[in-house]
Amino acid sequence: MTSQERPGTAAEGAPLHIDTRIVHPGVTVDGSSRPAAVPLYQTSMFVFDDLKVFTDAWGRPDGPSAYSRLGNPTIGALERTLADLEGGAGALAAASGMGAINAVLHGLLRTGDHILVQKGVYGGTIALLNDLSERWGLRVTHVPLDRPGAIEEAVRPETRMLYLETIANPMGRVCDLPACAAAARAAGLLTVVDNTFATPILCRPLEHGADIVVHSTTKYLAGHSDVVGGAAVFADPDLHREVWGRAIEYGASCDPFAAWLTLRGVHTLSLRMPRHCENAARLARRLAEHPKVRKVHYAGMPDHPDHATAAGHLGGFGGVLAFDIDGGLEAVRTLTGALELVSLAPSLGGIFTTVLHPASTSHASLTPGELREAGIGEGTVRIATGLEQADDLWRDFEQALDRI
């Protein structure tokens, strides 16, 4: 059975491919029929006839719905869908990607613990870790995972967790996930992987030995730039229960309507991701040939330092790339101001292409030294491709580059 299949319910017992599972999420069955789409339970609470049932519902993530901060049938359908797609034992839907990351870190780490973090991860995650370090005494070490033995060398007696990104934001670094997870497990660490840029279509980190996967569902999973959400998926049901028990008190819970919108988007994920990847690859090749582009950062390019690793572990190279131009911030302002089809915007994963200047926006909280460590310069631009025709996208970038 391949990693994209699981036992199905077809009469012949054939396994169902992820492309099939993604359009058949679990729905509530009522009598002899069931709804064709997951219903939206836009309610804050549920009423009971039996106190014993009410009490049971209050205390576990898989019980009857009682209060939508604790659980809700629509939110539960999203959680079951994501757990299935990632191959997990359970999932927690959150109000945002950072809500999911906060739920995992706050739910599992304590004052004085030590965490290993892949170099070059999302700026919001680094800002959170810096805050936990300053105010709560969490100790953080950023590890260069392209050097063999880096994890083993950085482990201390108080180390509890390894934090990775499948495809790092924004420079596209790809670590050897199976090797990193194995090193973490040998040291007794939990491995947490942000799989936002890859999605379960390109990679399922739990299959490579990770313990927890987090997502900003705002991005590719929802896919239409109209919802903010996050999720964490757990390999171990006890770990799921532990984080859920704390997350509901932090108030990171997903809204039912956001869950409903995300489920709608998930249905087409396996159709959208190949187009995102194709557009990114075509733009990367053309940008690399342009005289005003100094360097392109995309794991799909043969000269990328992680090309072989990405080709071995991912089902595609993703829809995000970065490139460097000379002239710093002023050149970036000229470029982004001249783009007509492509939008200057803070997020990604929707149907249209966006660009962003990481040094002044998504990674603005990093120090100059941290930006250099991540490879982000004043002339670095991130592109998140949408679903447009690639030639139209290139013409827009070409005319904008020509104005610098």
| Antiparallel, parallel or unpaired: β 343-344 and 354-356 | parallel
194 is catalytic: yes
Radius of gyration of the chain (CA): 21
52 is catalytic: no
DSSP per position, 67-125: BTTT--HHHHHHHHHHHHHHT-SEEEEESSHHHHHHHHHHHH--TT-EEEEETT--HHH
Pairwise CA distance, residues 135 & 199, whole Å: 32
Cβ–Cβ under 8 Å, residues 147 and 286: no
- Closest by alpha carbon to 141, among 196, 99, 195, 187? 187
160 is catalytic: no
| Antiparallel, parallel or unpaired: β 90-94 and 230-234 | antiparallel
Pairwise CA distance, residues 30 & 192, whole Å: 37
- Closest by alpha carbon to 151, among 121, 109, 177, 184? 184
- Which residues pair with residue 92 across a beta bridge? 232
Q: At residue 86, what is the residue type? A: E
Residue 98 makes CB contacts below 8 A (sequence gap 6+) with 124, 125, 128, 216, 230
Marked catalytic residue, from 41, 84, 119, 122: 122
Pairwise CA distance, residues 323 & 333, whole Å: 14
Marked catalytic residue, from 119, 160, 219, 382: 219
Cβ–Cβ under 8 Å, residues 221 and 269: yes
69 is catalytic: yes
Give the SS3 label for residue 141: strand
Marked catalytic residue, from 84, 113, 176, 194: 194
Marked catalytic residue, from 6, 56, 69, 264: 69
For the sheet containing 230-234, what is the strand order? 90-94, 230-234, 212-215, 190-194, 159-165, 114-118, 139-143
- Closest by alpha carbon to 112, among 150, 142, 154, 156? 156
Give the SS3 label for residue 195: coil
Q: Which residues are catalytic?
A: 69, 122, 194, 219
